[in-house]
Amino acid sequence: MDYARLGRTGLKVSRLCLGTMNFGPLAAEAESFAILDRALELGINFLDTADVYGWRTGEGVTEQIVGRWLAQRAGLREQVVLATKVYGRMGDGPNDRGLSAWHIRRACDESLRRLRTDRIDLYQMHHVDRDTPWDEVWQTMEQLVTAGKVIYVGSSNFAGWHIAQANAVAAERHFLGLVSEQSLYNLTARTVELEVIPACRAHGLGLLPWSPLAGGLLAGALAAAGEGRRASERIRKRVEERRAQLVGSLHALDIVLSPDHRAALDRIWPGPGGEAPEAYAW
C-alpha cells in the first residue's frame, strides 16, 4: 500500500480510503467487520464514515458498527486515521442539523460516543451551511481542536469558492482551516475538475473522491444488482443515463487526426498537455 500526506498536513494516509456508507443498510455487522479486517490487512489505515450513515436502519448505525469494531481490537485505534462528518439531520429539532456551534458541538460528542473513541482525526463538514457564518463554524472547530476532540478539519461537497472563502476566514483567525475536500469524482462525474480541484491545489487540500466507481457502474457491479439501494428504479434510471453519457464520451475518443490536422489544431489551442491529441481527448 502506498501512503501520501493528507493535503498540506504531515499526516500520512493510505491512498485508498475505506468508505463505510453501506455498513448497516446493506452489509450486516459481521460482513462489515470482515471488510474492515481485510482492508487493514491490505494496509488501508484510512476509514471514512458520517453521523447520518445508517439511512433506513437509523442515523448513527454505521458509526456504531465502526466503533464496536475498533473496541474489539485492542490497540487498533492508534493505527487508524478515522474520519467522520457533521451537518445532516440527526433529530427532529430545528437545531438538529447544519453547522451552528450548537449542533457541531453536540454532533461531535455523539459521534465520539458512537465511535467509542476520544478523538476524530478528520472532522468533515458534510455540506456547506449557508445560514451559519464562517466565524461561528471556525470558532467551534478551534474549540474542539483545543479540547483534543478533533485533529483536522475537512469539507465535503463544497464548491471551489466555498473552499476559498472558508480558508480565507480560517487564515484570518490563524487557524489551519480545511485540509481536505471530499467530492463526487469519477469517469462519469468530472465537474470538480473545473473549480474544485484547482481550489484544492491553491489552498493545499487533499482531494478525497467519493463514488470513484460510480456506485459500481464502472466496475460492472450494477448489471447483477439484486435487492437494495442499487436495484431501485430511480437508481437504475440514473445509472442508464450515466452509462449512455460515458459511452458517448468514449466514442468521442475514437477520432483519428492526421499529422496536418493535429498541427493545425495545435496552432489554434495546444491544450493542457501542450499537444492537441491530449487536449481533444479530454
For the annotated catalytic residues, the residue numbers are: 53
Element (H, E) at 181: strand 178-184
Q: How far apart are CA 82 and CA 80, in angstroms?
A: 6
- Amino acid symbol at 142: E
Cα dihedral 39, 40, 44, 49, rounded to 10, equals 70
Long-range Cβ contact pairs of 216-220 (< 8 A, separation 24 or more): 217/188, 217/242, 217/243, 217/246, 218/186, 218/187, 218/188, 218/246
> 442499487: which residue's cell?
230
* Chain centre distance of CA 18: 10
| Helix, strand, coil content of the chain in percent (nearest 5) | 45, 15, 35
Q: Strand, coil or helix: what is 154?
A: strand
Contact 124, 85 (CB under 8 A): yes
Q: How far apart are CA 173 and CA 139, in angstroms?
A: 9
Check residue 280 and report its DSSP letter: H
C-alpha closest to that of 177 among 154, 143, 196 = 154
